Amino acid sequence: MNNSESGFRHGVAGNYAFFLCILAAAPASAASSENDVAPLNYFLHSYGPASTPTMVLGWVFAALLIAIFSSIALLLVWAVFRKRPAVDPRSIGREDEGMPWIYIGTGISTGILFALAIYALITLNAIANPTHAPALTLTVTGYDWWWKVEYEDDDPTRSFATANEIHIPVGQPVLVKLKSADVIHAFWVPMLAGKTQMIPGLANQQWIQADVEGVYGGQCTQYCGVQHAHMSLEIVAQSEDEFRTWQDAQRGEAEMTAGINAGKSLFLDRCAGCHAIRGTEAVGAHAPDLTHLNSRRLIAAGLLTNTPDHLAQWITHAQDLKPGARMPSMALTATELNALSAFLSTLN
């Protein structure tokens, strides 16, 4: 056996092993996701009216592709086993009777393509606008590699900003205005809506609605640099009362306990150029607003769960965990790290 044959067989075996691993891991992954965050699939489930038409369109396309593939496979099998008349096996005559099938096949293909185009336009129209006025308007701005979320209000004093985590009331449409601060990003929460591009200098928008309470995962789907894969977000759908409670808490300034002056001074000296904390002198606009940091499940745009240990790791080893991010790895003594962590742990 030559090297190319050996490599080919090894590659095939590796591919089979890869797919078997995926199939084996899928049930466990799905089970854990149900208790945690809705998985990033848009083909099996929909939890809002903005995503259901897209899911149905996907199933229609899949069914049609399976039908076409099966038909062609059957015709190929029939052609393989079909025998010529035993008049003169050495003579191949002109196959004039085949032309009608070419016309029939072309006509069927053209009809299918036109039907799919019309159905796709119907789907686009169905998801273009919600059935009633949005209960909430947000502006989401994509940065390398995190999300800024601004909750708008007619009264500017009631507006506020957060990062990487969006809370919405269940059963209500929400208008999401989409912007980019640097390169092209794409906002996608597959369980709730299709993806929409975020282009620098252009304001796009889409609407989302969750009909079931829960946490829904989202992701940037436009390659935007080395940490594109670590640009995640979460949508938290809550009851009306829970959402209002969360919203009122977010509008307030940070609630800081006494005895953390050392950590606060260190933050203002080393971190305030990029981060903001309402109620302090920190008004940075180049990184996530940390006013209510401890109300979030995740940090680093979904890379780490929000725990004291992970927060300390992120502060001191950001470039090891997320190379290329604008967050530097800070050189701190153990005393300084403890003081800064203690201060950040009070941002409720």
pLDDT above 70 coverage of the chain, percent: 82
| Res 86: pLDDT | 65
| Res 34: pLDDT | 36
| Res 24: pLDDT | 41
Contact between residue 48 and residue 191 where contact means Cβ atoms under 8 Å apart = yes
Which pTM does this prediction carry? Answer: 0.79
Contacting residues for 123 by C-beta, under 8 A, at least 6 apart: 53, 54, 56, 57
Confidence band of 21 (pLDDT split at 50, 70, 90): very low
Confidence band of 20 (pLDDT split at 50, 70, 90): very low
pLDDT at 280 over 80: yes
pLDDT tens digits, 29-47: 333 333 356 666 767 888 9
State the average pLDDT over residues 155-174. 93
| Res 13: pLDDT | 46
pLDDT at 301 over 50: yes
Give the integer Cα–Cα distance in Å for 247 and 320.
Answer: 34
Q: What is the mean pLDDT of the chain?
A: 85
pLDDT tens digits, 197-256: 999 999 999 999 999 999 999 999 999 999 999 999 999 999 999 999 999 999 988 876
Give the integer Cα–Cα distance in Å for 138 and 215.
Answer: 18
| Res 45: pLDDT | 84
Give the integer Cα–Cα distance in Å for 241 and 247.
Answer: 10
Where would I find the H helices in the chain? Answer: 3-35, 52-81, 99-128, 240-251, 261-270, 308-321, 334-344
Give the integer Cα–Cα distance in Å for 341 and 336.
Answer: 8
State the average pLDDT over residues 282-295. 92
